[in-house]
Chains A and B, each alone.
Chain A
Amino acid sequence: MTSYVIRRLLGLIPTLFIITVIVFSLMHLMPGNAFQALIGLNPHIKDAAKVIAQRTANAGLNLSWPQQYVNWIVNLLHGNLGTSFEFQEPVTTLIGIALPNTVTLALTAELIILIIGIPVGVFQANRVNKGFDISTSLVAVFLYSVPGFVFALFLIFLFSFTLNWLPSMGTVTAAVPWSGDLGDRIQHLILPATTLALPSVAYYTRLMRANTLQVFFQDYVRTARAKGLRSTRVLFRHVLRNAIIPITTQFGFDIGGLVGGAVILEQIFTWPGMGELTINANLNRDYPVILATTLIFAVMVLLGNLFADILLASMDPRVRYN
């Protein structure tokens, strides 16, 4: 198992290499230049052209692309992601702040997805085409078809503006004694995490319902009944244990996706995460930040896939570590 994980991790390296090359090329194909965006439009800077030329040279942007790429890789291998053009701070520092916020958001959303999606799907399948199944299925289709930002606005309107129950901005309340408490943080998490989770809750519910129904008709479930097992044991040990396997795979695939999917929602909830950082960096042609965030999204997706495979291998004895 351990050697399998190590082999798989090593296997990620070529993929990552190709991703960096593609991102590097695309980034340089974007029109404009970082310092043009930062300095050129600022009327307070005299002699802007000279400053731009100076900083462009300092940043090594006059070198050939392959040379720039090699420099970047060498620095990366030393754990140095460069310095943000915009903030004049090491990119690692910026990411050190943004990434944990985004991961917290994504993991909380995943938790909500699994805690609601699995039981509801199983319960629907257990009483298929009865009242609960039909009504919740309708809700699920609705949730799945409405875009996330619409929910964001609706939930903010309802719970923040109208009821004033939950905050809709940032990760903590500023300038209060309890600022940054666990409770304070959780309160700030609820709305963005729920919004992020809702479409996936719907999707997982449908998936779980379909899987469970499918397993219900398997021969081995009939065997379990023929042994006189209690219906709870049949459901939880025989049906669920099989129906949940595709869910865990999906879950692994989605982890990376959720981190990326939070980009727009972070803007709406002014959540200081990777989304904000990425959008800013792209608007300002902040090359080191663009490269770093893209790399991290890619790593997240790849690790998510790896995690999915490991989960699958540990849940399904028929899968071999080859």
Chain B
Amino acid sequence: MAEPLLKVRNLKTYFISKHSQVKAVDGVDFEVQPGKVLGIVGESGSGKSMTSLSLMRLVPGPQGRIVEGEVTFEGTDLLKLTERQMSDVRGNRMGMIFQEPMTALNPVLKVGEQIGEVLIRHRKLSKAEAKKQSIGLLRSVGFPRAEQIVDEYPHQLSGGMRQRAMIAMAMACQPKLLIADEPTTALDVTIQAQVLDLMKSLKNKNGTAIILITHDLGVIAEMADDVVVMYGGQVVESATADAVFDDPLHPYTKALMESIPVIDQDRDRLASIPGTVPSAANFPSGCRFAPRCTLAQESCHQKMPELRELKPGHYVRCDLV
């Protein structure tokens, strides 16, 4: 296999305050192959967003801190870069889009300026050139009247249009990696499909690898080449999408799979797994899924299982399989 584009090793991101230590991300490993889509799934609070923000080194400070790990992107460990060097990577070789298109765009700046400033920053374009390119970018994400949109403000756009504008912004410098944190969760179902199609076509055109974070296994099934399943700040299973869907090994992944029909029916996501995600401030000492696991045995509550490679490329954090 070719050298991975991104290699994450033992990433730990904690929120540390005087009274508590929240282990939002607790020793995560995964890889992203060039031009491929890696899906990250998991229930709310499992650490998906903090993992992705850690890759961009945008964990909200001062409490949030990456305490350990390596994030090797195109051969360099991003965690060792200075803030200034890191800002050369952000928006340039690595772009990011967020869940809430309503709040993720600056309400008082024109859409064109918000796209253009990326090009001015990383491509050293003049204002006029940046505006011209912004129009082209907006057109490439499906705006028919791009010339007008550049001079409009975010509140004049619908949610789906805003998310397209966000994508145009993140793709402006044709990054090698796009991180999309629940890019469609806030959108209508039909708009969701359009935005996902757009991301797919941009990926195919530019060869951009994507980390796609979602609650929605349907989205993963449609988009992802590889899948990482997260639970309690850890990776519990990672493999190719085919392997995860055809032959899920971890009891949590199996439970997720069984919950798919529920997703389709009333969009009440993952409701079929009884119990709740443990608080990241206070994890159980053994396997973090054990309290909700139907197969759990005495030993599961005592010892934290290691992430083991059970089949080539298929990793599972469960001692029972």
- A interface, CB within 8 angstroms of B: 217-220, 222-231, 233, 237-238, 241-242, 245, 315-318
Contact = CB atoms under 8 A, between A and B. Distances in A.
A131 to B, nearest CB: 15
- By Cβ-Cβ distance, the 7 closest A-B pairs, closest first, are A228-B91, A227-B91, A228-B90, A219-B103, A220-B106, A317-B153, A226-B96
B117 A318 contact: no
Contacts of B58: 222, 225-226
B108 A226 contact: no
Contacts of B95: 226-227
Given A217-B60, A228-B121, A318-B153, A223 B107 contact: no
A227 B90 contact: yes
Contacts of B108: 241-242, 245, 315-318
A243 to B, nearest CB: 11
Contact of B87 (A222, A229, A315): A229
Interface of A is mostly: helix
A229 B103 contact: no
A246 to B, nearest CB: 12
11 contacts: A222-B60, A223-B166, A225-B58, A225-B87, A226-B58, A226-B91, A227-B117, A227-B121, A228-B92, A228-B122, A316-B108
Interface of B: 56, 58, 60, 83, 87-92, 95-96, 98, 100, 103-109, 117-118, 121-122, 153, 155, 166, 169-170
A174 B170 CA distance: 67
Nearest to A234: B87
Contacts of B107: 220, 242, 316-318
Contacts of B105: 220, 223
Contacts of A238: 106, 109
A291 to B, nearest CB: 43
A114 B155 CA distance: 29
B98 A222 contact: yes
Contacts of B87: 225, 228-231
Contacts of A218: 103
B76 to A, nearest CB: 15
Nearest to A221: B106
Contacts of B169: 223, 227
A218 B105 CA distance: 10
A229 B106 contact: no
Nearest to A241: B108
Contact of B90 (A219, A225, A242): A225
A262 to B, nearest CB: 34
Contacts of B88: 228
Given A222-B98, A315-B108, 13 more contacts: A219-B103, A220-B106, A220-B107, A223-B166, A226-B58, A227-B91, A227-B117, A228-B89, A229-B118, A230-B87, A242-B106, A242-B107, A318-B108
Given A230-B121, A318-B153, A224 B106 contact: yes
A233 B121 CA distance: 10
Nearest to B99: A219
Nearest to A239: B106
A233 B104 contact: no
A226 B90 contact: yes
A238 B105 CA distance: 10
Contacts of B122: 228
Contacts of A241: 106, 108-109
Nearest to A218: B103
A220 B104 contact: yes
B175 to A, nearest CB: 10
A217 B60 CA distance: 8
Contacts of B170: 226-227
Contacts of B118: 227-229
Contacts of A245: 108
Contacts of A217: 60
Contacts of A219: 98, 100, 103-104
A88 B95 CA distance: 76
Contacts of A315: 108
